[in-house]
A and B are shown apart, each in its own frame.
Chain A
Amino acid sequence: MRFRRPFALLGLLLWAGLAAAEPATKSIPEPPAAVTKAQPESIADLKAFQKQTRAVIDKVIPATVCLRVGAASGSGVIVSRDGLIMTAGHVSGEPGRKIKIVLHDGKTVDGETLGFGPAIDSGMARITTPGEWPYCEVGAAKDLKSGQWVIATGHPGGYKKGRSPVVRVGRVGLRDDRAVQSDCTLVGGDSGGPLFDMSGKVVGIHSRIGQAIAANIHVPSDTYRDTWDQLVKSEIVGVSPYFGVTKDEDAKECKLAAVTPGSPAAEAGFKAGDVITRFDGKDVANYDEMVKMLQAQKPLARVTIEVLRKDEVKELKVKIGWRRS
């Protein structure tokens, strides 16, 4: 035990040195011409290229993480000093889940999932263990040109003890507002991992693959910038609130003709024939009024609803669901 203390202190000092205020990627030099020209033309070009690659990965590897969400495993990248992580929507999934985050050196910290965009597969999480973390800047995917070189890191096959985040270098092929394709090969476990431009800025997040070796699809970084606040606030981006009932057209009041099986309404115990009288503390006169109140709700919000069922007033609690808008 006597020997523990000095080591702990040493660890603290090293750690303090690591947690710079600036993004880790700030000190990466501008890419040389060898990297930006249509194609490197000589061994000298390739040498200049690999020097840049090393400069980038030195800085971005410490920000590449593995996310353990339940028994599933994906990747992510730290993008703020206080530990915000960009990942794929299908990795983080439902907001508010407690997760484990494995840092590049195998150290595990606590985290939670934040918002996600199911339509485009964007997702966000956060390290909850207090600290300052090495982080990367977020670039603009819309500026990517076909043929432009990019670097991928991540944890293919999940985090493997003793293996640093795995580096791949490739070129962007096709790109639009919803997807970036490159020949940086990806496989299960890479999901959520970052794609960088040659100055170390995050331009994409690994999402899915196709049969061809070059069919590796990344979520463009721009969608994260555009929906940043929503993601950080644990919202589900690009969806409408979903309840799961249909209107009884013959009734003047808010009477339900049917309840969709498996829907939030069904889970909460609503039944066909129920008449909704109050929604989140407000009186409901008819179905359309209820729909307006529903639309004002955020997905995953918990709402108390009063119904009249066979002359009996019942209070039901529903967790608002979502569906793609």
Chain B
Amino acid sequence: MFKRYVLPALVVVALAVPAHAQRSARKDSGPVPTKNSATFLALFKPTVETAARSTVRIQVDGKDAALGTVLSEDGYVLTKASQVKTGKVTVKTRDGRDFDAQVTAASDLYDLAVLKSEGTGLVPIAWSPSSAAPVGNWIAAAGAGDTPVAVGVVSVAARTVPPAYRAPRVPTEKSGFLGVVLDTQASEARIDRVNPESAAEKAGIKAKDVIVSIDGQEVIDQESLIYTLLGYQAGDKVKIVLERDGKRMELAATLGKRPADLLPPKEAPKGKGKGNRGDFQNRMGSELSERRSGFPTFLQTDAVILPTDCGGPLVDLDGHVLGITIARAGRTESHAIPSETVEALLPVLLAAKPDATPAQRVDAARAALEKAEAAKAPTDVVSEAKRILQAAVAEEKWWKEHPAEPGPAPREVDRGPAPRTVGK
């Protein structure tokens, strides 16, 4: 039912090029050159000179988990949230110092976490607008050393992806269900059959109709229809615009329940799932980040970055920090959250001090939300601010109701140990 992407038809296992083919003369890069060859990476040293001073290695339980970007002289560091979810977090500076660190705030949506380490004398990063680096410009991912961890070019400028296209949504029992079979020979969302008694039949959808939009969200192909519908639950009412015999018409549908036999089998262990063909190909040649999709706004590069090297600054040839590397997302792509977005989100993540009382957390979160709204921050940043406020309110309520409890308080996201200093 999902679209097939062709390439894959002919996956070769080895380079099937005859022996008389020309070979690269370069010694450091083996038979074929890559952008991550040692000499090419070394060429980019000047670009990361400044940013690398603000880059730290993040370890979890003594193992490399991510890179971190220093936010303040007194030990605040930004990193990839999903890489520091559990375990003992350590910040290692390039001058060889180790500091314990705790997650003080996190955004699940952007997969960014703020760490407070006991570090001092750190060098905070200076952000630059990502728009300064157009598509085709060279970029380098800074590491904690002199040489970048990867280089490449901007493949796609920073863009905000509509929610329906963010992540391959997985159908659940609660997912809304229209009850149509799509015409697999068509590229558009053309209906082949309407299931009897389905939401589609009740709404008056007929075979050969082409669905154009759902609640104003444009449907461009079969995949986008499926993803858009997966954003709804059974019982939701949707407005469907469709084309029938060249005429546009609008219908109202109440989505039904997805039949049990159309639910995916129970989830396989993380990273071990069979996945589809696209996923199989994306995994060829490099290791991918566990969390690699669903970022609302990101910039795409062709740099081949290790999952444990995400969370550091991404720079252009002038050393301008365009954003923070967030994921090795596929065979052709690594993603970065652009500086503009990071700068809008940071006040929200830095609002509450680690030693704040629950009441102070609520006040700080409310103030951050108001500021974000006043500053016309991106919708997704505002929604993160709202979510953090809700969590703070819930936490404060819990403490009020359990004055004698030692904690920990309930948390929406796992962001390290509960606040130790309690108001009462």
A: which residues have CB within 8 A of B? 38-43, 46-47, 49-50, 53-54, 56-57, 61, 68-74, 88, 90-91, 99-100, 106, 121, 145-147, 151, 156-164, 166-171, 173-176, 179, 181, 183-192, 206-215, 217
Contact = CB atoms under 8 A, between A and B. Distances in A.
Contacts of B39: 39
Contacts of B40: 39
Nearest to B1: A71
Contact of A161 (B6, B162, B188): B162
Interface stretch (B51-59, B149-157, B414-422): B149-157
B5 A171 contact: no
Given A71-B185, A147-B33, A157 B330 contact: yes
A170 B32 CA distance: 11
Given A50-B137, A54-B135, A161-B162, A187 B282 contact: yes
13 contacts: A39-B39, A39-B40, A50-B153, A164-B157, A166-B156, A169-B302, A173-B33, A175-B21, A186-B7, A187-B331, A188-B281, A209-B12, A210-B284
A185 B84 CA distance: 29
Nearest to B183: A71
Contacts of B175: none
Contacts of A185: 285, 302, 304, 331-332
User: Chain B at the A interface: mostly helix, strand, loop or mixed?
Assistant: loop
A5 B8 CA distance: 44
Contacts of A188: 5-8, 277-278, 281
B424 interface: no
Given A72-B5, A206-B7, A217-B16, 19 more contacts: A39-B43, A41-B43, A46-B43, A47-B317, A50-B136, A50-B317, A53-B153, A70-B187, A88-B7, A91-B6, A157-B278, A158-B5, A159-B220, A162-B162, A167-B156, A174-B22, A179-B16, A192-B6, A215-B285
Interface in B261-283: 277-278, 281-282
B286 interface: yes
B15 interface: yes
B136 A167 contact: yes
B274 to A, nearest CB: 16
Interface residues of B, number: 76
B46 to A, nearest CB: 6
Contacts, number: 250
Nearest to A171: B33
B175 to A, nearest CB: 21
A209 B331 contact: yes
B292 to A, nearest CB: 12
Contacts of B14: 210-211, 215
Nearest to B222: A71
Contact of B10 (A70, A72, A207, A212): A207
Interface string B160-184: 1110010000000000000000001
A289 B128 CA distance: 76
B13 interface: yes
B284 A183 contact: no
A161 B281 contact: no
A166 B15 contact: no
Contacts of A176: 17-18, 20-21
A188 B284 CA distance: 11
Most buried by A among B15, B138, B162, B281: B15
Most buried by A among B32, B43, B188, B285: B32
B326 to A, nearest CB: 17
Given A100-B187, A167-B302, A209 B223 contact: no
B12 A217 contact: yes
Contact of A208 (B11, B23, B223): B11
Contacts of B9: 90, 191, 208
- In the A-B complex, list the 3 residue pairs whose CB atoms are closest, starting with the nearest: A173-B32, A213-B285, A68-B187
A121 B153 CA distance: 28
A317 to B, nearest CB: 24
A156 B282 CA distance: 10
B134 interface: yes
A100 B32 CA distance: 36
A123 to B, nearest CB: 10
Most buried by A among B16, B154, B159: B16
